[in-house]
Amino acid sequence: MIWLPPALLTGISLLLMLWQWLEGRLFPLHRRVRGRDYAPGLTLLKPLKGSDAATEACLRSWLTQNYAGPVQVLFAVSSADDPVCTVVQRLLARHPELEARLVVCGERVGPNAKASKLAQLEPLAQHDLLVISDADVKAPPDLLTNLAAAFQEQTVGLVNPFYRLGEPTTVAMHCEALAVNSDFWTSVLQARRLSPLRFALGATMAVRRETVRQMGGLRVLTDYLADDYELGRRVAATGARVMLCPVVVDCLNAPEGWRHVWKHQLRWARTIRACQPLAYAASIVSNPTLWPLLLWAVARTPLAAQILGVCLLVRFLTALDNQRRLCQSLVHWKWLWLAPVKDLLQAAWWGLAFLGNRVEWRGTRFRVTRQGRLETATDQ
């Protein structure tokens, strides 16, 4: 009867995978608002560090938004010597009609460099809606219109669009892209079905300035690694709702290898484990490749082999459909063979998340302490 536990977990993981796929099918992905009548003033906060081949296109997409209301754009760097300053200055010169500026935020108010910049930009914001976005995000022209539309409901405090990893150039990046484009967004919808969202998606977040004031300002995020999770948690704690926007943005990254992806995923795993230890511990049950593979390894029967084959087929088909819906394309279908590889790597990251609390972020080593707080490691 040694095969019974993996058989049970195989059945559970298969059901969870199908449920997750169904949540993706039910969500109105890519749906746009029709009118542009509601266009309150908003301020874009854009923390930057370094640049690559995609940086200029990503930043330009925010300066060319088709938005009817007033927009203020605040770019932030830690040093005037950062090479991204040249890119920003070139874009600002091409768009003198915009209320946009580059701000040097030399003060470090916490271990999280991104949140430190945001805290220094916040007092400069002129409008009641704040939009926070990472440097590698390329936005569709109607993003601000769709984000703002959600705030017509007074109970809404924060709105996120989904994001997809676009233009992967290495095998490692295709593996990470499959995790995001096929699995992550549907897992968010699955979590939303279980309870109201109490976290945010960090690529782009729109939030009411009044809600930020109620939670103590953006400075409260500077001690946390997962500033997006903490922002969503604190917004929800004020009684405001965290909402999802059907519009999708692209995240464009420079070529990355397995070493970078491994560190990134391990950092993410240890952060989630610190923030939600019980939920993260239970997440291993939903691994759609680990359990049928273990069942086959233990039982070694034709039936176990058939179950493994069926589970892998369902895994490929649901991943393909999830990716097609998010990316509106099947261009990456030939990389679907990475799905079980990603699942097994995910199991490894899950285990390592409980075996340590050290992470590396932008070349600096940290300890992730209780509730995701950051402390600089002393053994660098």
The residues, ordered by sequence, that sit 6+ positions from 306 with a Cβ below 8 Å of its Cβ are none
What residue type is assigned to position 210 of the chain?
Answer: E
DSSP conformation letters of 212-270: HHHTT-GGGGTTBS-HHHHHHHHHHHTTPEEEEEEEEEEEE-----HHHHHHHHHHHHH
Helix (H) or strand (E) holding 66: none
The residues, ordered by sequence, that sit 6+ positions from 213 with a Cβ below 8 Å of its Cβ are none
CA–CA distance, 162 with 184 (Å, rounded to integer):
10
Half-sphere exposure of 321 (CA within 13 A, CB side): 15
Give the chain's radius of gyration (CA, Å).
Answer: 21
Give me the CATH topology for the region 30-177+189-261: Spore Coat Polysaccharide Biosynthesis Protein SpsA; Chain A (3.90.550)
pTM of the model: 0.93
Half-sphere exposure of 217 (CA within 13 A, CB side): 13
Residue 140, token pair as written in the block:
């569709």
Q: How far is CA 363 from the centre of its chain?
A: 20
Beta bridge pairs of residue 249: 163
Note the pLDDT of residue 379.
Answer: 55
DSSP conformation letters of 156-197: EEEEEEEEEEE---SHHHHHHHHIIIIIIHHHHHHHHHHS--
Residue 189, token pair as written in the block:
């919808």
Which residue ranges make up each domain of the chain? 4-25+264-363, 30-177+189-261
List per-block mean pLDDT (blocks of 10 residues) for the chain, which spans 380 residues: 87 97 97 88 97 94 96 96 96 96 92 94 97 96 96 96 92 94 96 94 96 96 93 96 97 90 92 90 96 95 95 97 93 89 96 90 80 70
Sheet of strand 71-77, all strands in order from the earlier edge strand to the far edge: 99-104, 71-77, 42-47, 129-133, 204-208, 156-166, 241-252, 137-138
Q: What is the DSSP letter of 68?
A: S
